[in-house]
Structure 1
Amino acid sequence: MAHRKIKSKAMESYGDLAPAFVMYSENVLFGDVWRREQLSLRDRSIITVTALVAGGMTEQLPYHFRLAEENGLKPEELVEAITHLAFYTGWPRAASALTVAKKVFEKQSED
C-alpha cells in the first residue's frame, strides 16, 4: 500500500504557465516519489526541508513546513534540524529558514 497522495499546489501556482511542470509535479513527484514506502512521509519531509535549507530555497519552505507537520514533525523538531544545519550549510541559510519558520508557525498558532 502506497503512502497517501500529497496535494500539490503546482496547478494553482503554474497551471496556465507550465502545464508539463504541473503534470510532473502532480503525477511523478507527489503521485509516485512521495508515495514510495521505502521512506516514511516523515523522513521524506525532513529530507526535503534539509535540501531546501541547504540550497537556500526559502520560497518553498512554507509549503514544506506545513507538509512536514502533517507528516508528523513538530515545529520544535524542524527548528532543531535547522539549527543543526547551520553548522553544515551556513549560518545565513539557517537564519533565513528560521525567519520563514517563525512566520509559518506564528500564523498557524493564530489560526
Structure 2
Amino acid sequence: MELRHLRYFMAAAEEDDFGRAADRLQVARPTVSQHVADLEEELDTLLFNRHSSHVRLTAAGRTLHARLVGVMANLNEALFLTERMADAGAVSSVVRESSDPGRDRDSMFGLLRSIRRLGRPNNFLPESSTRRKLMPSQATGESARIYKQVPQFSRLREDVLLGDVWKQLEMSTRDRILVTCGVLAAGGKGEELKHWMRRGVDNGITLDELRGMIVQIAFYAGWPAGLCAGRAALELFEAEPRE
C-alpha cells in the first residue's frame, strides 16, 4: 500500500464519482478505479458500492474516510513544510510542533487494521453483504465432481491456475477478470461468463465498465459474442438500483 492509494480513495470518497476524482487528481479514470480496487484488496474490505452514475461509501469506507481526514491533513502539512523549508533544523522544529509523523503513521496503521476487522466475519458491512472473494478455494457443483474423477486436472487447477497464474503481479485480479470475461464471451461460454461477471463486480468492476466491454466484444469478437456477454450481464443490470 502506498500513500497515493489513500489519496485516490479520499478524492473518490469526496467526489462520489471516480471520473470527477480523476479530473481532480489529473489522472485517467481507470487509474482511480484501479487504485481503489487495490486498496480494497489490501484491506480485504469493500469500501465503495458501485452504481452506474456514481459510487457510495460503504460503512467501512465511511469509517476510513472520517478517520483519514485528520491524518492526511497532518501528512500533507508535513510534506509541504519539508518541501518548502531549506533549513533542516527549522523543518524538524516546525514539524514537531505541528505534527508528529510517527504518531500519524501509527494511527493510520491502527485505523487500517480496524478497517480490515470491520470487513471480516462476525462484523458487518450493512450496504453489501457480499464480501470480496478473489478466487474460489474449492470447486463446487459439477466442476467439483469432475476434479474428483480427474485428480491431475484438479492439481493443475490448484497449483498452476490458482496457485500461480492468478497470483502473478503483472495484472491485478480485477483486470484478469475483465480479460477472462472477454475470452469467455468470444467463446460463447455464457454460464461461466455470468459467474465471472459477478465476481468481477465483487472485485471493483463497475456495471458501466461491463457495458463498455460488451460493446468492445461485439466489434472485435462478433455480434453474437456481444449478445452473449449482454445476456450474461442482464441480471446484474436489471438489479442495479435506480435513482
Give the alignment partner of residue 60 of structure 1, picking from 192, 204, 217: 192
Q: Give the equivalent residue in structure 1 for 2:141.
A: 12
Which segments of 5 or more consecutive residues in structure 1 lack a partner in the other structure? none
**Off by >4 Å, runs of 4+ in structure 1:** none
Structure 2 residue runs of 5 or longer lacking an equivalent are 1-40, 42-132
Alpha carbons 2:134, 2:203 under 8 Å: kept: no
Q: Normalising by the residue count of structure 2, what TM-score does the alignment of the two structures yield? A: 0.39
Q: CA deviation at 1:92?
A: 1.2
* Post-superposition offset of 1:107: 5.2
**Residues 207, 237 of structure 2: 8 Å contact kept:** yes
The structure with higher relative contact order (CA 8 Å, sep 6+) is 1
Aligned residues: 107
Q: Distance in 1 between the 2:175 and 2:140 partners?
A: 25
**Corresponding residue for residue 97 of structure 1:** 229
Question: Shift of residue 56 of structure 1?
Answer: 1.4
Identity over aligned pairs, percent: 35
Give the direction of change, closer, same or farther, for the CA distance of 1:93–1:60 in structure 2 (3 Å limit). same
SS at match of 1:10: coil
Matched letter for residue 228 of structure 2: S
State the distance in 2 between where 1:9 and 1:54 align: 26
| C-alpha displacement of 1:18 | 2.9
Pick aligned residue for 2:202 from 41, 53, 70: 70
Deviations 1:16-49 (A, max 9, x none): 3332333322332122211111111111011111
